[in-house]
Structure 1
Amino acid sequence: MSEPVLELDGLEKHFVQRDSIWQTVKHAFTSSSPSRIRAVDDVSLTLDENQVQGIIGESGCGKTTLLKTLIGLYEPTSGDMYFNGRPVSEFEKRDWKEFRRRVQIVFQDPFNSMDPKYTVRATLKEQLDIHDIPYEEGDFHDILKQVKLSPPEKYLDRYPHHLSGGEKQRVSVARALILEPEVILADEPVSMLDVSTQAAILQDLRDLTRDVGVSMLYISHDLSTVSYVCDRVNVMYLGRVVESAETEELLGEPRHPYTQALINAIPIPDPHYDREPMTIAGTPSDSSDLPSGCRFKDRCPDRMDVCDVAPRHVSPADGSTASVACHLYDDHDPAEGEGVTVDE
């Protein structure tokens, strides 16, 4: 097995919540600490070469914060990240520049991620200039053909306001690919596009990862699009990955109650298909005041007493690469507290 291109080990990103004047005075006199928002909490995953992994979850679960931490826009609170086996914590300035060439991001909003004063040619050229990469006019033609903007001459001198939403997002993908990256971080890249354009962009992303040999982390709140493009899916809830499995296994045999609810909520394009409506009781907890133990326990239909203790990740079947953090699949003896850890 080759070395993973990207590896996370217990990665965390917490934010200190801003306090009011009254709360600041209270902390000063009581020696209490400001509230912390655990946006990303103990996330571990391994992204292999030419693999596409999805990260799925509700809005506010920490998906985008995870992505921004990976690209270096946020400094991790704790945990380790490795790029091609090397700890990112050891990077110097020149290492970060090389890292940001090899790890590219495609933003959610194609309408604001392009500079309105730049033509498509200038948008692509800027990337190459920043990294001192020599280029020829033919390079721009080749990359636009790769993202299915043909003929290239039709697009190179256009400004963003001359392009449709789908065309802008294709230019965003071309802007990432022109640097020949090893990893693409895609932050809900089709959520602002119409359904027909979504399907086309998703198919192109899938084809490009196979043809170019690039790995991708695909972040979305829509499990139906994630399942279309990803080899493996990680399900996040309130900053933690609660289940991870190969896409077909996760869709065919979801184990965590939260994953089951997400899959049952996927619309079925058949007006005559009859099924019980799927709802999750309650609302997600406040990220600054998370419950102890399992973070899904207050909404879970299978809640048990042991859920007051944080579950560990276990593999629920022999030979499976799946992992689920749920007491329903753990062999520990709740009375003895074996195999579980307290969520501090």
Structure 2
Amino acid sequence: MSTLLKVENLVKHFPVRPHLFSRSKAVVHAVDGLNFELNAGETMALVGESGCGKSTVGRLVLRLLDATSGQVWFDGEDLMALPAGRLRAKRRELQMIFQDPYSSLNPRMTVEQALTEPLALHGLARGRHRERAAELLDLVGLAPQYLQRYPHEFSGGQRQRIGIARALAVEPRLIVCDEAVSALDVSIQAQVVNLLQDLQRRLGLAYVFIAHDLAVVKHIASHVAVMYLGQIVEYADKQSLFAHPRHPYTQALLSAIPVPEPGLKRERTLLQGDVPNPITPPSGCRFRTRCPHARERCAEEVPVLRSQGGHAVACHFWEEIKAPAGITGGAVVNERLLRLQAAFHAQAA
């Protein structure tokens, strides 16, 4: 497969003033030196705690935010260097699905107006906007008679389907899904995730899937990047990452999933304290202040994300750290995961 998206040394710092009357300037280290690639037709998931920089990465990839430094290569062109006119034309190929389907739609616009607006902006489907809008609704499993309705007349799942249809209107090649199913019920999540996968197969789409729900990530992603405080600490294909997590943070995320059987017990990796302040991140390894395996070297030396057999990890001592019992072998499940998987199978049947 060809590389569609390539991110190199991506950095985004937000300037802030520590105090109201302070003259000194500080920065929030939202994203610090990210590198990853995404092939056409694949899905890469970005996971991590709230505030780790996942959504900022999504907005940087689409250049909804300007990067402090770094490059975002899309189909061989550096998006960060494109002039406004060229960027606007390129945006046809990059779209976004937002977390809140209601807020992402204009409440004063009918579904037809919402779907035909991007067509008019990019000069597409001239003379057949209404017909194209009906085709888009059918593509996401909604009836054409919904065209004259307003967003408040739909359920959350239906609104998210409309949001997907709007993203598809300009025939993109890459879609950033920013917590696209987190606001939906479990059964509706299954429907929307299955829809996204079906569209990917039919249209050859690539997804950057931003999420915190590991059950959904395990179902939809081909590769997973785990983020902590603006940096990727582990990257691998989903089978390898879920079966053999190497970074202590990834192990902690997976061990936090409850075991559904009351009689079963397994070891937990407990994280102490809160996520550090992104204005003054820790020296060396940013995870060291919460890591149960931290040593003196962790405070002095920044761990490099090194790949071994396609599985990359940023930890000095990952080879010495054993995953808690019950994590290896992909045995981690929880009641929510079981319900979600059952819903996936029911929707696919």
Q: Could you tell me which amino acid in structure 2 is paired with residue 311 of structure 1?
A: P
Give the share of equivalent positions with the same residue, in percent.
40
Q: Find the aligned partners of 2:199 and 2:136 in 1 and give their Cα distance.
A: 11
Query: Which amino acid in 2 is paired with 1:147?
Result: V
Q: In structure 1, what is the equivalent of residue 312 of structure 2? A: 323
Counterparts of 1:1-344 in structure 2, within 5 Å, are 1-2=1-2, 4-24=3-23, 27=24, 34-135=25-126, 136=128, 137-149=130-142, 151-153=143-145, 155-308=146-299, 309-316=301-308, 320-329=309-318
Distance 2:319 2:259 in 1: 33
Structure 2 counterpart of 1:79, which letter?
Answer: G
In structure 2, C-alpha distance between the alignment counterparts of 1:94 and 1:195, rounded to whole Å: 41
Give ranges in structure 1 of 5+ residues lacking alignment: 28-33, 332-344
Deviations 1:9-54 (A, max 9, x none): 0000001112434422xx4xxxxxx221110000011011111000
Q: Partners of 2:85 and 2:38 in 1: how far apart?
A: 23
Cα RMSD after superposing both structures:
1.7
Whole-angstrom distance in 1 between the partners of 2:35 and 2:225: 10
Which secondary structure does the structure 1 equivalent of 2:41 belong to? Answer: coil
Distance in 2 separating the partners of 1:59 and 1:185: 17
Distance of 1:249 and 1:167 partners within structure 2: 34
Give the whole-Å Cα distance in 2 for the aligned partners of 1:197 and 1:269.
Answer: 22
Q: Is the 8 A contact 1:108 1:188 kept in 2?
A: yes
Alpha-carbon separation, structure 2, partners of 1:43 and 1:244:
11
Instruction: Provide TM-score, normalisation by structure 2.
Output: 0.87
> What amino acid is the match of 2:312?
S
Amino acid at match of 1:117: R
Q: Distance in 2 between matches of 1:49 and 1:298?
A: 38
- Check 1:55–1:305 CA distance in 2 against 1; reply closer, same or farther (3 A cut): same
Q: Find the aligned partners of 2:10 and 2:136 in 1 and give their Cα distance.
A: 34
Question: CA contact under 8 A between 2:5 and 2:38: conserved in structure 1?
Answer: yes
Deviation, structure 1 residue 156: 1.1
- SS where residue 9 of structure 2 aligns? strand
Cα deviation, residue 303, structure 1: 1.1
> Any conservation in 2 of the 1:314–1:329 contact (CA below 8 Å)?
no
1:298 alignment partner, SS class: coil
Q: How many residues align?
A: 317
